[in-house]
């Protein structure tokens, strides 16, 4: 097999695995878990406080990475201490579900 064949096989494998991983998260379970997040990030994922980020419409994998980094205390600065405390109680499934929920919301709040 040539390098070109390995690359093609890798791309094919990723296109079949990545959607399966993304679909494993439960946005409805994330919505239920998101009640505490609304205090800072807004009921619809749009923060009312300018220093807090909007989560609505954000990239799902980015949210998983960011929340996991807070949980592992790899993100510091700003409101990291608050987020570290919030993320500490989340399981990997909770994180995936929250990310799926916020990614499913319209970035403009539905307007």
Residue-range domains of the chain with CATH = 26-104 (1.10.760.10)
CA distance 69 to 11: 27
- Listed in sequence order, the residues at least 6 apart from 53 whose beta carbon sits closer than 8 Å to its beta carbon are 41, 47
CA distance 64 to 33: 14
Closest CA to 67 of 84, 44, 51: 84
2, with CB counted inside 10 A (0-12, 13-18, 19+), is: exposed
pLDDT in tens, the chain (111 residues): 554 555 455 554 554 444 545 558 999 999 999 999 999 999 999 999 999 999 999 999 999 999 999 999 999 988 999 999 999 999 999 999 999 999 999 999 887
| pTM listed for this prediction | 0.77
């Amino acid at each position: 097999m040539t390098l070109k064949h390995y690359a093609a096989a890798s791309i094919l494998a990723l296109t079949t695995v990545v959607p399966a991983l993304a679909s494993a998260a439960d946005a409805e379970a994330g919505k239920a878990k998101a009640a505490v997040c609304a205090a800072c990030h807004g009921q619809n994922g749009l923060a009312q406080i300018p220093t807090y980020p909007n989560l609505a419409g954000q990239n799902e994998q980015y949210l998983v990475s960011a929340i996991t980094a807070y949980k592992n205390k790899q993100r510091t600065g700003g409101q990291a201490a608050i987020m570290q405390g919030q993320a500490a109680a989340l399981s990997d499934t909770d994180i995936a579900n929250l990310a799926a929920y916020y990614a499913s919301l319209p970035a403009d709040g539905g307007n």
